[in-house]
Amino acid sequence: MLYPARQTSKLITKMAYALLAVAIISGLSLGIATQAEAQSKAASIVVDANTGKTLYSSNADAKRYPASLTKMMTLYMLFEAMAAGKVSKSTPIAVSAYAASQPPTKIGFKPGQTISAEAAILSLITKSANDAATAIGEHLGGSEQRFAVMMTNKARQLGMRNTQFRNASGLPDGQQYSTARDLAVLGIALREHFPQYYSYFSTRSFSYRGRRIVGHNRLLGKVEGVDGIKTGYTRMSGFNLVSSVNTGGKKLVAVVMGGSSGGSRDAQMAKLIAQYLPSASRRDGGNLLASRKNSQISVAALELPENDNVPVPVQREVAAAPVEAEEVVTAYAAPAPAASPAAQILRIPAPTPKEEVGEGDQSEVDPVTTASASPGGWMVQIGSTGSPQEAKALLSKAVSQVGAPVASLSPYTEKFQKGSITYHRARFAGISSAKAANSACAALKRQSFNCFAIAPQS
């Protein structure tokens, strides 16, 4: 059917407006969906630590990956052993090959080395060291598997009913989870049960064998009253933080999980503290967890999470932080100490090298251009990563922090396969001798980079 020109023009105009309206509505719907997806990982809570009253909560009982917040429980277990006289600050803790091989963030302890319990504590609180956390777990539990069962048992005794641990460090594991509310309970328990050790959480840095190790908790000294506790990050968890506030007789414990960056997480925490501290009570309600501390609660350490209640890891093309994959594989093949019957029931498969549990915004590192073919001569390797972009970023970071000793070398990346997983080595090439390679490694290690020299292939 044919329409007059004027009618045709009106019809086209109406259709254009209709399509525009549909586009606007669709765009709004897409924006809402995207926003909802971004918020799905987020969870937070603010608790008055004097009264136990919840002042604010958002998704506080939703199961989330705790990342390095796991180390709060590792420290709780160590503090408990210290309070019982089983461990002292100077007790030597052996570092096994398995512990030494844990992916960064770590101090870089060597297999067979021993560290004092106090050095291990400070390593966890400042550097969030995975090698130290695993060493603590093996020292207290005989094996990390058994220690994870002990951690979960302790969580139940404290009233943390929606928490399950699989390792001492917080390295990614789909069966390890907690909630913002449970972690607030743990934060309160650490202060109430171990006031003699709680000041460790306010440590911003410490010296170890001539190295100054700086902490990740940026709110210490910047937000009035903040005296701890712990940061955490993995790609799956987002940026997490538990903060404790003690000022003017008022006490708060607040938890933020799933932040999109370290800066936004810190800003959210500071905002929550500023908003809810005025309404906190100055009246100390006594030991809020006293009735739970020694309770004989039925332990469900072996229960697995419901599939629809726990976040599932998603494979994404996102840059991972450094992973010493080759060392990890070697260590996992080593025999582990005998586990308890409970640990044997867990039947946890041997872990595979996974993403870094880091603490910083990786977008802050600028990539560098690397060679496309393997150069000759000596090389030094500083890490293995999940993507070429992250390998380049690691090399760029090393140049920025170390300067002259590596700035003249050739940054180089190399892809390799471990099982079904692809990694990318981050190396510096163009080194003339073993002496020069060892000198470059020494300079890198002084700036807390892992490093080992690689001889030319004949």
Q: Which amino acid is at 438?
A: N
Cβ atoms within 10 A of the Cβ of 305, count? Answer: 15
Provide the pairing of β-strand 92-94 with 114-116. Answer: antiparallel
Using a 10 angstrom Cβ sphere, with 0-12 exposed, 13-18 middle and 19 or more buried, the burial of residue 108 is middle
- In the numeric block, the tokens 């997806």 are attached to 37
Q: Which residues pair with 231 in a beta bridge?
A: 241
Give me the active site residues, please. 68, 71, 128
Cβ atoms within 10 A of the Cβ of 387, count? Answer: 18
**Farthest CA pair distance, the chain:** 97
C-alpha 377/C-alpha 430 separation (Å) is 6
Contact 262, 218 (CB under 8 A): yes
The closest of 156, 148, 152, 149 to 296, measured between CA atoms, is: 156
Tokens of residue 427, six digits: 């190396």
Q: Which residues pair with 371 in a beta bridge?
A: 412
Q: Which amino acid is at 348?
A: I
